[in-house]
Amino acid sequence: MITTTDRPASAAARLPGRRPRLRRLGRGLIWAFDALIVVLGLAFFAPRAPVDPVQDLLGMIALFVPWLTGFLIAVVVIGAGTTLLLLRRGHRALSAAGALTVLLAGLMVIVPWSAARGSWVEHFTPALSVAPTATETYAPGLQVDVYLPPKPAPSRPALLYVHGGGWSSGARADSASWFGWMADQGITVYSVDYRLAPPPRWQDAVGDVKCALGWVRSAAARHGVTASNVSIAGDSAGGQLAMMAAYTVGDERFPPACDVPEEPVRSVMGWYAPTDLPALLAESGLPGAAAQAVGGYLGDQDPAVASPITYARPGLPPTLLVQGDRDHMIPTAQATALVDRLRTAGVSAEVVTIPWAEHNFTGHWGSWGSQAMRPVVGDFLRRHVLA
């Protein structure tokens, strides 16, 4: 007697609903991803709004994901292939959404690049690790990194740099690539610590920066620097401190934190720095983190006292302010208002707005914003520091 054995049921037969469910899941994921890119693209190209959570999210992505361009290029390449495949299989709605996704992702790559006319190689090349020549202590518990130039400029200039971080964080090595670049031009660069909030440090931090300036002048001979040719710069909160130190020489409310004489600096730079804290706090769309940082730095103090714009007057050093026009932390008006006030007082001042640049764009050495900014900073240094 011949018996037959049934063949094992296939996976599709055992689970007849599995493939349709997977297809629905796949289509849902494609729709969700397309929607995400469309929302980000619309926020990217929309004018900066006082209140826009999506733009704030995009700003945070740009801030913490320096390889965002690479991600968008991958979206273009993979999305183009997926869109063509979906079109061939008759999924017209999905393929149309995919085409829109590819278009927006491509524009988010091409438009900032064309505005900066930057180098793709530099954009994707990690910054070289730059170590200080020496690290010294300029006050109890506070250190300074010294970057000596391979070949000092004839004027033997020095530049003190103050790091950002919302007055409560950050480190003096954060912009080391920039320090190496400036040292290569013949400038001795000093990057300093200062006391961070909390508690409120609106006087202490400025006093520390002034103490560091005095220390730089006292160490000038040892480092081959001309004591009368010392400039100052900083980014974000560090730019505010740099300007406060430069603009309040002799002000009894802001004495140096150590026993050093005060002298004017040769020039000052502020990169995406707050200049008018009352106006900043009054802006309805100020992200909570920035408002919290200002409050932690000031405590109950009148914000006007710690605002560089309060001290705009004749006789101040030449000033360069650099601002990204997509900055979701510091509005462009902060820079333009101070420059207008300085120019009215007869001070040499300029503001340069970097297109499509977000807050802290200098943190990515090869970013389009950093590439566009370097010639601007180089020109300012040649005119006011290296001359």
pTM of the model: 0.88
CA distance 114 to 330: 24
Pairing of strands 142-147, 188-192: antiparallel
Chain segment 104-134, per-residue pLDDT in tens: 999 989 999 998 889 999 988 888 889 999 9
Domain residue ranges of the chain, discontinuous segments joined by +: 20-115, 132-384
H or E element, residue 271: strand 268-271
Higher pLDDT, 324 or 46: 324
Q: Between vectors from CA 243 to CA 242 and to CA 246, what angle results, nearest 5°?
A: 90
Q: Which residue has the tokens 């000092």?
A: 152
**Buried-state track 111-127, b at ≥16 Cβ within 10 A, e below 16:** ebbebbebeeeebeeeb
Mind listing the pLDDT tens digit for each residue in 5-46? 444 544 444 545 567 777 777 778 888 888 888 877 777 777
* Residue where the block lists tokens 């006082």: 50
pLDDT tens for residues 77-89? 998 998 888 888 8
- Catalytic residue ranges: 236
Q: What is the pLDDT of residues 262-321, one digit of tens each?
A: 999 999 999 999 999 999 888 755 556 677 889 999 999 999 999 999 999 999 999 999
* Amino acid letter, residue 89: R
Please name the residues in contact with 250: beta carbons below 8 A apart, sequence gap of 6 or more.
262
| Domain boundaries 132-384, corresponding CATH code | 3.40.50.1820
